[in-house]
Amino acid sequence: MKILVCIKQVPDMESKFKVDAGGTWYAKTDLAWRMNEYDEYAVEQSVQLKEQVKDADLTVLCIGSDQVKETMKKALAMGCDRGAHIADDNASGKEPFEIAGIIAEYAKDKNFDLIFTGMQSQDRGSAQVGVLVAEMLGLPSVSTVVHFAYEGGTVEAKRELEGGIKACVKVQAPVVITCQLGMNTPRYPTLPNIMKAKKKELLSIPVQELLKVDSRQETARIYFPEKKGGGLVLEGDIAEMADKLIQILKEKTAVLA
């Protein structure tokens, strides 16, 4: 079995973000970087599948500058067999269609049985790349997956819908799965595995070799939303505050109606 898991390196979400000089992305200085949280679930699921089927080869793919290799090493330490680094110093300037095009071009003649991606990235959050890759490769895709099981070529996936509803989907591999938070418990990369990851294959491929599609959209500007009025802080003794709260809830909401 051949498995591909696609990951992205994103800033730690506790970082202080600033809009960059071009006004279309955030400034990359003074940020700490880590694996996109959704992708951690994708890596974990792909490693679990590899452990289940035993005879599997698991490739982790990541697009970006040399800096992303550190995040790829984490995926290798978690259990991926090899890394495909698509070298691109301007990955953040590419829109989802281009990113998906690069991944599909890489994957098209490699006969992957399963392709895992995160449901979305924590920074751009388009949630398009996984499903676009499937479309470009002519594969089915199952998105927002919270539970995954595989048996003899059949995938049974549980999807998370709005309003707390779940859906069960059965699909034949090859298939693209986009992973939702909470799908599993991502393992820690143990120190011995971190050390072993050093010796695993990590090939760099120039993005020019794989970028065959044109962009279809452009980000005009990114910005922080204007600050609305701050929250209301009630002060005084507890009985007074409770009275005020009840009054506000009655006047402004329907919860006590």
Using CB under 8 A as the binding rule, whether residue 192 contacts other proteins is answered as yes
DSSP letter assigned to residue 26:
B
To other proteins, the closest distance from the beta carbon of 67 in angstroms equals 10
Phi/psi for 57 (5° steps) reads: -120, 120
51-59, 67-75, 130-138, 227-235 -> range binding other proteins (CB under 8 A): 67-75
Sequence-separated (6 or more) residues with CB below 8 Å from residue 176: 115, 116, 117, 130, 131, 133, 134, 137, 139, 140, 141, 142
Using CB under 8 A as the binding rule, whether residue 8 contacts other proteins is answered as no
Using CB under 8 A as the binding rule, whether residue 232 contacts other proteins is answered as no
To other proteins, the closest distance from the beta carbon of 189 in angstroms equals 6
Nearest to 1 by CA among 126, 110, 128: 110
Q: Token match 């594969």: residue?
A: 139
The residue within the footprint of other proteins, chosen from 127, 171, 194, 222 (CB under 8 A), is 194
- Contact between residue 124 and residue 12 where contact means Cβ atoms under 8 Å apart: no
Run of H or E residues at 203: strand 201-206
What are the C-alpha distances in Å from 105 to residues 58, 89, 93, 102?
18, 18, 19, 5
To other proteins, the closest distance from the beta carbon of 76 in angstroms equals 10
Count of residues that bind other proteins according to CB under 8 A: 16
To other proteins, the closest distance from the beta carbon of 238 in angstroms equals 20
x/- track of binding to other proteins for residues 27-46 (CB under 8 A)? -------x------------
The residue within the footprint of other proteins, chosen from 74, 85, 94, 124 (CB under 8 A), is 74
Using CB under 8 A as the binding rule, whether residue 79 contacts other proteins is answered as no
Amino acid making up residue 151:
E
The residue (of 152 and 192) whose beta carbon lies closer to other proteins is 192
The residue within the footprint of other proteins, chosen from 89, 167, 188, 243 (CB under 8 A), is 188
The residue within the footprint of other proteins, chosen from 52, 154, 190, 219 (CB under 8 A), is 190
To other proteins, the closest distance from the beta carbon of 65 in angstroms equals 14
| Alpha helices (H) along the chain | 37-53, 69-78, 96-107, 129-137, 191-197, 238-252
To other proteins, the closest distance from the beta carbon of 94 in angstroms equals 25
Using CB under 8 A as the binding rule, whether residue 85 contacts other proteins is answered as no
Dihedral sign, CA of 207, 186, 47, 53?
negative
Query: What length does the chain have?
Result: 257
The residue (of 16 and 221) whose beta carbon lies closer to other proteins is 16
Residues within the interface to other proteins (CB under 8 A)? 34, 69-70, 73-74, 77, 188-195, 197-198
